[in-house]
Amino acid sequence: MNNKKHISSNMSQIYTMDVEQDIRSALDFANLLTRHKIRGEFYITGQMLEKYPKQVKQIAKRHIICAHGYHHEDFTCVSYKDADRIIKKTVELFKKHKLKLIGWRFPGFKFKNSQLKILVKYGLFDSSIRDVAMQRWKSILHIRNFLSNMKRRRVFLPVRFPKNLDERPWSKIDLNDSRLYLKQGRLVFHCYNYKKIKNEFENYLNELPNRSKLRGISYINN
Ligand SMILES: [Zn+2]
């Protein structure tokens, strides 16, 4: 049975990694997923691409490439105009390296509401919002982001999120959770602590029951 088609819907468990340092861990993670024929998503800074173009292109052969700021900026400290400039510069850098960029994750998941409009403008989906927050706050999620930023002493207008925003929320990965295999969505790994959980994650992949394969992991078709 070819179940690859129906898993490519958004009902998938997708492994994602934020890469702003430690290219070795990113490569390790990519290779592990490739060995399991799983397609992951890598959120990479422009700076890392400048420093390690070969390695990033290696990852891009099998996996999806998204961006994670240019210098891992804190976008809550950046004006709309500067945010646009940074995102544009990042998009152009990936283009220059012939890498197709389809999504974005704000460093530290921190952003001002208005900046989501810039992602729409450049045709990128966003993956900076946690799924539990989305479910809890629904249509007033923009207020929630306003409040979180206020706590960080970053005050700006609580404008609504753009209607045509393509939001693909992230969620936490907990390898001790015995029902983790039932979790859907984009699970976040960080390059800086990957080494610590690497073996545990490999065990998890090895032990995944077949039924979870049916529930949907994004597989590499070629
Ligand atoms: Zn990061």
Condensed to tens digits (0 to 9), the pLDDT of residues 50-65 reads 999 999 999 999 999 9
Cβ neighbours of residue 19 closer than 8 Å, sequence gap 6 or more = 26, 42, 43, 44, 45, 48, 68, 191
As a whole-number percent, the residues of the chain with pLDDT over 70 amount to: 89
**Which of the 8 DSSP states describes residue 159?**
P
Tokens matching residue 185? 């969505």
C-alpha 108 to ligand 1 mean position (Å): 5
The pLDDT value recorded for residue 182 is: 82
Q: Which value, in Å, is the radius of gyration of the alpha carbons in the chain?
A: 17
The pLDDT value recorded for residue 155 is: 87
At residue 202, φ and ψ (nearest 5 deg) are -65, -40
Domains of the chain in start order, with CATH, are 4-216 (3.20.20.370)
C-alpha 214 to ligand 1 mean position (Å): 31
The pLDDT value recorded for residue 215 is: 53
The pLDDT value recorded for residue 2 is: 37
Q: In what order do the strands lie in the sheet with 125-126?
A: 125-126, 103-104, 64-67, 41-44, 13-19, 185-190, 170-172
| Entry pTM | 0.91
Least confident among 5-14, 93-102, 108-117: 5-14
C-alpha 105 to ligand 1 mean position (Å): 8
C-alpha 209 to ligand 1 mean position (Å): 31
Distance between CA atoms of 77 and 197, rounded to whole angstroms? 32
Distance between CA atoms of 20 and 158, rounded to whole angstroms? 29
Mean pLDDT of the chain: 90
C-alpha 34 to ligand 1 mean position (Å): 22
